[in-house]
Structure 1
């Protein structure tokens, strides 16, 4: 970098810098420079301090990493947090969640619920999230205004949903939204067929053709429970993943969410098609849906990212906590203490999520030329001492309350634990008011 280069907008000097790519690296006493929303410099502290910068920020005791990527959720469902706990998936869905959605979900619900979820995620170190919920245009507006990054999937089912009277209407809206936002720097529109048991072959074919034409991603719940797979086999003689393979949906643009049931044939299909799997361990644990064999997938070369799922089934949007659960669970499921070590777990929560969305050239690791989507974790507290491997401490000994600062495209969205663009008190009051209405305690 020569002295003729324009000054940096911001120079950060953390104690540890974890780029995620190359894998397993921890840089001590290094600096990271940002210019025009992108990473312009990474190098030793001494070299960094020689550069001209409009602002220099010391981050003592802090670990700077790529922003976390929450690869699956239903943001607005944060307003249903705790509404129907301790129930099996189909009872939870059919008896509680679907009726509640039919009654309450409108544009106002989606706006308020999405804003609540965005704020919670920013405070937890998440810079980008995948959303799949009704009224995606409203969710897109929330993301746009917040400064966050997101992939927003239009849900498509064979029956009417809030905001779309049919699958064709949902598809039309998705195509229109895709066109409107295709040049947006932080929002990517995807197609979200809900699950194999709610979408017909004919509608899946339509989605495949359109997604191919637009080079869009497809986000879908697949093999969430053993019951789902067993029912499909009994009714059609075919496993849901095999059906998706036959219909031509699988591929690098396809995100298979949950995948708790994986046979040898399923694994071969995932590998051969280069399909990404989105792992949601806590939602799967809470609904007793099963265990995704993460280490087996990883060793076979499948890209595995991580998601919280919605707050109605988790019940938080805490991706750091989710990653810790994922690392622990992977060891138990594989029967091996070396499965999914801390560095790979962090990669799953960052670069692998970016890869699943087709954004790995822009986000997911700290590399010169990529967007400056970053989070600073404060590891100076009592519960983090002593520090032998800061990444191990981050995954195994740190909670999301240690998130100190967060940037998306170089802009600070969280500064010293404070949201810079959102009113936390107002968001809390709005959520409480919704809770009173839904539980029937409002005036």
Structure 2
């Protein structure tokens, strides 16, 4: 396969944290990064390769969205300005009961993936239903996709009970074994929707099949207080008692955690998916990310679903994560820009067990990378490209996206997905959902 050599103005490899390379080039050989070297040396050594000049751009690892419900993009704006349980019980779950299908999940996931790719996200850790549809969408988009097999105790339009959800999730995983860009997790929805026996089954299966676990944990204060009333212990303590806590667990949200719980997360190697925009919009609270990081907890960033964010903009959420960490802690040095960028890239990769393959720009790793054009007026002058990536750049400045060396976005245009077709599908679903009395106020 031919070599491609990229010549950006800056390269931000993420490791070592805060590093900025100028006058350097990155060489892609097939699916992997084969070298990062001075630009003048690269021009001599690879004169016959395909060369791409990126004169005002910064090259960095693709962003890792550590918690998303991609298909829910079709429910964007259906129910706003509500508390979590009102939002779920009275709006989202009824809408899903009406519309949940393979077609809904496939179309919604494709729409979400187009949005994410154009914003620089190359990996998504998803959690939803109709896992085959999510997987097919990921393959069509060319995006690195982690399919979370949702598990609940009660029936939905997809499954009847916990055993049914598990069976369907494992069948989907078996069907797509060998697809390099696809992997699966077991995704028990939350401690308040999953019973002890089911959590025990999940732990056993995860160990046997070497699967990750993806679960909402400590998202709201009422979740914690209700658990104390029902089980006599907080949700995290219950999960610890059941053997759920460990390096294969991604705990989404973790908004309400005390010092002892942060220490427990660190000891057990649990990863946290921080969802700053969704947490604020649903008034769930502000996660103590600065304290988590200080305690030694690995933290990545997620958008959550577009029904509760309402966008899938990882650059915006990375900025928000840095800012609210400062404001909530009273420390302007909390979560500085290089650390926030690491959370959005390598932090997510670590949580997914992919840090040896993605999350930083290093020779031998997969060529999951993006170029951001900092040459427009809102990001001039450029004294520090990392500062601009976190505090100034917008997602429409992402110009190029590669996953495993394959170009998915070029000069801002999607290469694997048809924007016009996706827009038409979104309008079709809007009409159908509105006709059922949802989506209007």
- State the TM-score, normalizing by the size of structure 1: 0.97
Aligned to 2:155: 160
In the alignment, which of 225, 233, 248 is matched to residue 230 of structure 1?
225
Deviation at 1:8, TM superposition (A): 5.1
Counterpart of 1:281 (choices 266, 276, 283) is 276
Whole-angstrom CA distance in 2 between matches of 1:425 and 1:184: 28
Structure 2 counterparts to residues 13-28 of structure 1, below 5 A? 13-28=7-22
Q: Is 1:302 the counterpart of 2:297 in the alignment?
A: yes
Runs of 4+ in 1 over 3 A off after TM superposition: none
Verify the 8 A CA contact 1:72 1:129 in the aligned structure 2. yes
Partner of 1:4 in structure 2?
Answer: none
Q: Of residues 31, 44, 47 in structure 1, which corresponds to 2:25?
A: 31
| 2:255 is the alignment partner of 1:260 | yes
- Determine helix, strand or coil for the equivalent of 2:87: helix
3-state SS in 2 of match to 1:161: coil
Q: Give the structure 2 partner of residue 215 of structure 1.
A: 210
Match among 427, 430, 436 for residue 432 of structure 1: 427
SS of equivalent residue, structure 1 residue 71: strand
Distance 1:259 1:333 in 2: 15
Kindly tell me the number of residue pairs found equivalent between the two proteins. 436
Q: Distance in 2 between matches of 1:54 and 1:44?
A: 16
2:61 corresponding residue in structure 1: 66
Aligned residues: CA RMSD: 1.2
Q: 2:246 aligns with which of 251, 254, 272?
A: 251
Q: Secondary structure at the match of 2:304?
A: coil
Unaligned 5+ runs, structure 1: 1-6
In the TM superposition, residue 441 of structure 1 has moved relative to its aligned partner by: 8.4
Q: When the two structures are superposed, what TM-score results if normalisation uses the length of structure 2?
A: 0.97
In the TM superposition, residue 217 of structure 1 has moved relative to its aligned partner by: 0.2
| Deviation for aligned residue 1:149 | 0.3
Aligned with 1:332 (options 327, 332, 335): 327
For residue 286 of structure 1, report the CA deviation from its aligned partner: 0.2
Partner of residue 3, structure 1: none
Contact 1:134 1:161 in 2 (8 A): no
Spell out the pairing of 1:14-413 with structure 2 (5 A cutoff): 14-52=8-46, 53-413=48-408
Q: Structure 1 CA distance, aligned partners of 2:429 and 2:12?
A: 40
What's the offset of the Cα at 1:163?
2.0
- What secondary structure, in the 3-state scheme, does the structure 1 residue paired with 2:155 have? coil
SS at match of 1:72: strand
Say which SS state the counterpart of residue 196 (structure 1) adopts.
Answer: coil
Structure 1 CA distance for aligned equivalents of residues 386 and 209 of structure 2: 38
Unaligned runs of 5+ in 2: none
Q: In 2, are the aligned partners of 1:123 and 1:417 still within 8 Å (CA)?
A: yes
